[in-house]
Amino acid sequence: MDLRHLRTFVAVAEFGTVSKAALHLHTAQPALSRQISDLEQELGLALFDRVGRRLFLTGAGEQLLGSCRSLLGSVSALGEQAQLLRHGDTGVLKVAASPVQIETVFSTFLHQYAKRYPGVQVKLIEAIGTATLALLERGEIHLGISLLQSIQADDRHFGIYPVPPVELVAACHPSFPLESGGTIDIGLIALHPLLLLDSGFVVRKTFDTACRLARLADDETAGTAGGSKNQYLRLSGLGAIVREIIHRCLLE
């Protein structure tokens, strides 16, 4: 069914004459008359009765008029929605990130994003390392926040946008004998009890790799801490905490 025929039908019904409908639709009168005739033939129904120069809806035409208006309204709404989707101003944005990134970045960022894009619903999914890439490959997320170590240099399956770097920091209680300065020898902090992220985190794998390069045994870097930031701080008197700093400008 041609939508132009439906628009013509609605216009003629509203204006009462083909000439007025033709002016409104910027179409020649003979073309509109043919469209009405074609629509009546397709439906197998008479839509108008001619009385003088005016056209009046038949009983069938009156019943179909509301449905045609609804259909045309839905088509118009569909076009508007598609236009918004093209501009990225509406829809669902699925983002995967580590729990640390969600806690330290997204928790402070999302309210600003919501004000700027009120029509976009952001759905956060906890994922780390290669699990994030697997979600991208399956099309279950639109964006994944991960470390570059997770992606092969020649991998062309993903578009990559570098963001500010992630740093490793050793945090400890003020009384803990940790040397001050810009860098710390990993061999020095490995001599003490450490609270580390779970081994599934890329940042943990990075730390473990650094330990192996320094030829440190696994038992010298024992201790895995899960849970919230407050739990880390309560335990900080026992030794040093190694975790990542994620800049707030990550998504700005």
Cross-strand bridge partners of residue 195: 241
Express each pLDDT in 106-151 by its tens digit: 887 888 888 888 888 899 998 877 788 878 877 888 888 876 555 5
d(CA 251, CA 167): 16
Residue 152: pLDDT band with limits 50, 70, 90: low
Residue 44 has pLDDT above 90, yes or no: yes
Mean of pLDDT values over 37-48: 92
Mean of pLDDT values over 15-28: 89
Residue 82: pLDDT band with limits 50, 70, 90: confident
In this prediction, residue 143 carries a pLDDT of 87
| CA distances from residue 67 to 22, 34, 50, 70 in whole angstroms, order as listed | 22, 21, 22, 5
Express each pLDDT in 205-247 by its tens digit: 777 777 777 777 655 444 444 444 444 444 444 444 444 443 3
The single-letter DSSP state of residue 14 is H
Task: Give the chain's mean pLDDT.
Answer: 75
d(CA 35, CA 23): 15
Residue 194 has pLDDT above 50, yes or no: yes
- Rg of the chain's alpha carbons, rounded to an integer? 33
What tokens were used for 7? 């628009």
Nearest to 131 by CA among 123, 121, 141: 141
Residue 202: pLDDT band with limits 50, 70, 90: low
d(CA 60, CA 51): 17
Higher pLDDT, 252 or 185: 185
Side by side, which strands form the sheet with 240-245? 167-172, 240-245, 194-196
Distance from CA of residue 219 to its chain's centroid? 42
Mean of pLDDT values over 78-104: 79
In this prediction, residue 137 carries a pLDDT of 78
In this prediction, residue 43 carries a pLDDT of 92
